[in-house]
């Protein structure tokens, strides 16, 4: 399972299955919108997430500055910079209110060594491209791992742990 943490758009958590490049991908998404009440859940997802979407509003300079801090937050939780990541500037439908230029977003993405997209969640412009891009980055990283690490990774999957604890809980109630 691919676990993507989206640090943007709304305050929601959901799971979905999609096909990307003719292969299934299971997305487990925590959409925090940078809200403080998601801190504990966000950190848990960061520990187990295989990739991350860091999103800011092009109409809000402060959200761009906060987005710039998220890679460090991921590093503090994961202790590595080698994590698949996509940077997203959202709200391109509000171009007349733009405070963050495309060039600034591209510059930060270069600094992070990650893909960059500008989107409109309201109009659903390029949203699928963002998730597909992240899944491709995750797959690229996984394909470069030695076989022993791949097996260990599958064994320690966050989804497997959560699924196992839910199964045990269900069995104890029946």
| Residue-range domain boundaries for the chain | 4-143, 146-174
CA–CA gap between residue 149 and residue 33 (Å, rounded): 32
Query: In the predicted model, what is the mean pLDDT of residues 106-129?
Result: 95
Considering only residues 148 and 39, tell me which one the structure prediction assigns the higher pLDDT. 39
Give burial (CB, 10 Å; 0-12/13-18/19+) of 39. exposed
Residue-level pLDDT at 94: 98
Does 148 have pLDDT greater than 80? no
93-97 long-range CB contacts below 8 Å, 24 or more apart?
A: 93/120, 93/122, 93/123, 93/125, 94/58, 94/59, 95/58, 97/59
Q: What percent of the chain has pLDDT over 90?
A: 44
Name the CA radius of gyration of the chain, rounded. Answer: 17
- The whole-model pTM stands at 0.74
The set of residues, in sequence order, having a beta carbon less than 8 Å from that of 69 and lying 6+ positions away, is none
CA–CA gap between residue 150 and residue 93 (Å, rounded): 41
Work out the pLDDT band at 31, boundaries 50, 70, 90.
Answer: confident
Q: How many CB atoms lie within 10 A of CB 18?
A: 14
Please give the CATH number for the structural domain made up of 4-143. Answer: 3.40.50.300
Residue-level pLDDT at 8: 45
Of the listed ranges 33-47, 79-93, 113-127, the one predicted with least confidence: 33-47
């Amino acid at each position: 399972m691919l676990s993507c943490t989206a640090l943007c758009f709304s305050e929601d958590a959901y799971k979905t299955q999609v096909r990307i490049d003719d292969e299934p991908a299971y997305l487990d998404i925590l959409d925090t919108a940078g809200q403080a009440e998601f801190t504990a859940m966000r950190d848990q997802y960061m520990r187990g997430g295989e990739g991350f979407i860091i999103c800011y509003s092009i109409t809000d300079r402060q959200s761009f500055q906060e987005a710039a801090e998220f890679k460090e937050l991921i590093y503090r939780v994961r202790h590595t910079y080698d994590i698949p990541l996509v940077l997203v500037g959202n709200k391109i439908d509000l171009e007349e209110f733009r405070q963050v230029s495309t060039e600034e977003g591209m510059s930060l993405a270069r600094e992070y060594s990650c893909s960059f997209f500008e989107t409109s969640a309201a109009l659903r412009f390029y949203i699928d491209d963002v998730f597909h891009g992240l899944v491709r980055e995750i797959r690229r990283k996984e394909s470069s791992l030695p076989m022993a690490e791949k097996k260990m990774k599958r064994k320690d999957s966050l989804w497997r742990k959560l699924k196992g604890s839910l199964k045990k809980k269900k069995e104890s109630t029946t």
